[in-house]
Amino acid sequence: MKTKLTLLSLSLCGMVSAQNLITNGDFESGSTGFTSQYTANCTSLATWFPYNPVINEKNYCVCDSTGNFTGFAGWQNCKDHTPGSGKKMMVINGSTDANVSIWCEHISGIKPGTNYKFSTYITSIITNNPAKLQFSINGNLLGSAFNATSNTCDWNQFYEIWNSGTATSADICIVNQNTISNGNDFALDDISFIETGLVMPNVFTPNGDGMNETFHPITYKEIDGFNFKIYDRWGRLMYENKDATGAIEPEWNGKMGGDGSDAVAGTYFWVLDYYTVIEAKTLTETLTGTATLIR
């Protein structure tokens, strides 16, 4: 029986950027690309401040500054997480209802058995009673609830890792878990949902033509370190790279580990341990597989 080999080009070898699967995570396109159980309202009027725009409870506004809302005592003039004039964010007056979805999006094309990182930046815009939020995917709460700090205009990132299992799509949400009405005013920005990990080629051709010359992982930016070993079919160690970093990735050039001569064409076995560190959390994984060396 013939085995079909897929040649994965390594012309873009090394680190590549993981694609953010969210349509409008930075809110630069306004109130589009997402849904919410909150009401979009940038111009509501409070009776005790009849001439000053405010955001009522369980309302939000996509705008460039919380300084637009002069009707709330204590609200600080916070700007977008990303520097630049006119950049937008989602400003929210939290409700007292738990598990209400503030922001949601349907993501199609999910890869089964794959890790994804769901993250958002959040800042308080008033010091008292900081927001308490949680991620949700396909109706299930993900990880623990997280709190904004009491420091206003101080953007912090929160994230959780989700494994897709058998899922091929995901309804992802950020939900409210704070049931205290006083305060609980905040902003979200730069929401992302990206695949974490790496891909491995199954063929390489160290023949001097400048294409697919080495065998190595093609990684996304979350990978921080590797331990990489390659063996021939008799179990002899052909290549080893310990403690390689995400910036200097391990790669095998098809040479014998002992004398530097060319390894023969054929199938080789590899073991790759890699880890990711995100805000003091470490995600580790071991992968194994085969690669075909063609000359």
Per-residue pLDDT in tens (0 to 9) along the chain, 295 residues = 222 222 222 223 333 446 889 999 999 999 999 999 999 988 754 444 444 556 788 999 999 988 877 656 678 899 999 877 779 999 999 988 889 999 999 999 999 988 888 999 999 999 989 999 999 999 999 988 999 999 999 999 888 889 899 999 999 999 999 988 788 999 999 999 988 766 778 888 998 888 788 888 776 556 777 888 999 999 999 998 876 555 456 788 998 876 778 999 999 999 988 777 665 667 777 888 899 999 8
Which 3 state secondary structure label does DSSP give 250?
Answer: coil
Domain of residue 232, residue span: 198-293
Other residues' Cβ atoms within 10 Å of the Cβ of residue 89: 28
Is the CA virtual torsion 104, 164, 17, 243 positive or negative? Answer: positive
**Do 65 and 160 fall within a single domain?**
yes
Q: Are residues 62 and 206 in the same domain?
A: no
Among 195, 230, 257, identify where a domain stops.
195
Q: Indicate whether 205 and 178 sit together in one domain.
A: no
Q: Which of 174, 195, 216 is the last residue of a domain?
A: 195
**19 in any annotated domain:** no
Tell me whether residue 155 is in a domain.
yes
User: Does 30 reside within a domain?
Assistant: no
CATH (domain of 217): 2.60.40
Write the CB contacts of 260 (distance below 8 Å, at least 6 apart in sequence): none
Quickly count: other Cβ atoms within 10 Å of residue 232's Cβ. Answer: 17
Domain-embedded: residue 7:
no
Q: Domain for residue 172, yes or no?
A: yes
Query: Are 86 and 190 found together in one domain?
Result: yes
CATH of the domain at 153: 2.60.120
For residues 159 and 231, state if they share a domain.
no
